[in-house]
Each structure stands twice: as structure tokens, then as C-alpha cells.
Amino acid sequence: MMVVQVSNTMPNDSYLKPNVSLVAFYGDKPSPLQSLIQQLQSYLASQEAIRDRFIPYQLEQVHGTIIGCEGSKTKSEITSQWFYECRQEIRSIDLEGVVNYLQHQVNLPLTIRFGGYDRNQEYNFVSRDEHLYFRSFQLQPVENQLIPILIGWSWQNNKVNLAIDNLRRSFQKFNLLHKYHATPDGIDNDFYLRLGTIDSNLSAIEIKAIATNVRNLLEAQPALHISINKKDLAFVQYQDLFLIPRKTKVIPISKITAKDLNQIYPPTINMP
């Protein structure tokens, strides 16, 4: 049965900064994943159209978001930003519950597959209505920049499964809503890594050519399978969406307490 990932409109990123997110691979990464990131960054830096305008992220800075945990702190609680913005529900985040879940109950490891997606093969899953070959690498426009993004999907028994989507959905019981789960049937099984920024006004033809070259590179080499384990997860307090290391506070899930998590939320009141 074909699984279709729903293409949701990007919710309004008007939430307060600094704020909080749960991420994987911020800082240390498996060596094969490091090598792939560096390979793609080097390839992009060699492209004539963007050579002097591509700014690669530091290796430690590249990460995959599991779920944005954005919220607004009042005197008595932290209100879930995405339940409020996406479903118009005011819910208090269960900090004790989410910390206990991640430390003792979460179903990990899970495997992410990057690359090796044959454009002529059927995978019984499409992402944003596109074949996985086309989604494996994106040049995403953001304001006056392009963001090069490597995307993988959870993988088991030689096929895509919904492990990443299910993991994100599991946080709803603690009143954390993944922003692409605005509707109950929304699916977001993408696990993506931002590789840097491109400060350039490229034509549609140039963007397509660069993206196609990178996709072909990924298609031609063996698939990379990377496990996400508890040790790979951390809560981060970020100042902006780039998560620059000197501006980002990182607490591994093995070391965090509910009190620690509470303290890294911004002390603000912006909702009823």
C-alpha cells in the first residue's frame, strides 16, 4: 500500500526566540554521516554558480530535528506553541513526562537511510508528493537565501517505515505537537539535515541543475544507513534557526531533568 506524506503549509514561525527543540546528531555524529556531510559540502563549494556564496555549516552544527518543542512560559506552566498555532488548543507541556519518556521508554534505536534512492524504483512512499530520489536533496528558498538540505527516511526490512513520524506523534501525549501534524492525519517522515546557506539569486535553471547533480551523486553511491540512539538526542535552546554552536545551549537527554528543561524556555507571556 502506497504511503503518502501530506504536504502541509508551513506553519507561521513566529514563535519566540530563544526557544527549545529536540534534535539528533548535534555535535558528535557517526563517522559515515560526517563523511557524507563533508562530501556534499565540498561538492557544493565546487559548483561555479555558488562557489563564493555557499557558507557550509560547521560539522557540529549540522543536525536533524526530531520535534520542535517551542513554548511560552507563564508563571505556572509552559504552553505548547504548536498546539496553539496549528489547532487553536491551549495545552501545558508535561516536562516530567517527556523527560521520563525519553530516558526510559522511547522506542529506539531507529534507522535512517540517506541516498541510494533509484528514481526508477517504487518505494511505496512519497514525500510531499514526490519520489524519494527527488526529495533526497533540496535547495530550499528562505528569504534571500537557499538552504541545501539532505533528507533521509526511516528504514526497516528493505523499505521505508513510519518510525520517524510515529516518534514525533508520540510526543502528543505530553502536549507537544509536531508542527507538520497540524491535522490528525498529517504525516511527516522526513529527517533532514541543513548543510549551510547560499547567499545567491540563482535562476530556476541553475537551481534545478545543482539539485539534480547532487541527487545523481546520492543515487549513484551506496545507501547510508544511520541509527538514531538515545545518546544521539539532545534538547537545545537556540537563538535562531541556524543553531550556531556558540549561541546554542545543548543538554543530552541522559543528563537533563524537568527542572533543566523548564529553565531553558524563554520567560515570556504571549498567549491567553
Q: Is residue 48 part of a domain?
A: yes
Q: What is the pLDDT of residue 200?
A: 78
d(CA 38, CA 34): 6
d(CA 144, CA 148): 13
Q: What is the pLDDT of residue 267?
A: 78
Q: What is the pLDDT of residue 10?
A: 39
Q: What is the pLDDT of residue 268?
A: 66
93, 79 contact by CB (below 8 A)? yes
Q: What is the pLDDT of residue 1?
A: 52
pTM of the complete model: 0.91
Q: Is residue 164 part of a domain?
A: yes
| Residue 46, domain extent | 39-263
Q: Is residue 98 part of a domain?
A: yes
Q: Is residue 269 part of a domain?
A: no
Q: Is residue 31 part of a domain?
A: no
Q: Is residue 21 part of a domain?
A: no
Q: Is residue 111 part of a domain?
A: yes
Q: What is the pLDDT of residue 9?
A: 40
Q: Is residue 18 part of a domain?
A: no
Cell representation of residue 53: 556564496
HEC string of 201-267? Answer: CCCHHHHHHHHHHHHHHHHHCCCEEEEECHHHEEEEEECCCCCCHHHCEEEECCCCCHHHHHHCCCC
How far, in whole angstroms, is CA 93 from its chain's centroid? 20
Q: What is the pLDDT of residue 6?
A: 57
Cell representation of residue 237: 535552546
pLDDT by residue, tens only, the chain of 272 residues: 556 575 444 344 444 578 999 999 999 999 999 999 999 999 999 998 898 899 999 999 999 999 999 999 888 899 999 999 999 999 999 999 999 999 999 999 999 999 999 999 999 999 999 999 999 999 999 888 999 999 999 999 999 999 999 999 999 999 999 999 999 999 999 999 999 999 978 889 999 999 999 999 999 999 999 999 999 999 999 998 899 999 999 999 999 999 999 999 987 644 44
CA distance readout (Å), 141 to 145, 205, 207: 6, 14, 10
Q: Minimal CA–CA distance to 147: which of 115, 107, 194? A: 194
User: Going by C-beta distance under 8 Å and a sequence separation of 6 or more, which residues neighbour residue 180?
Assistant: 6, 8, 11, 186, 187, 188
Kind and range of the H or E run holding 13? none
d(CA 152, CA 176): 23
How many domains does the chain divide into? 1
Q: What is the pLDDT of residue 271?
A: 47
Q: What is the pLDDT of residue 266?
A: 84
Residue 184 is classified by DSSP as T
The letter for the amino acid at 242 is F
117, 123 contact by CB (below 8 A)? yes
d(CA 78, CA 75): 8
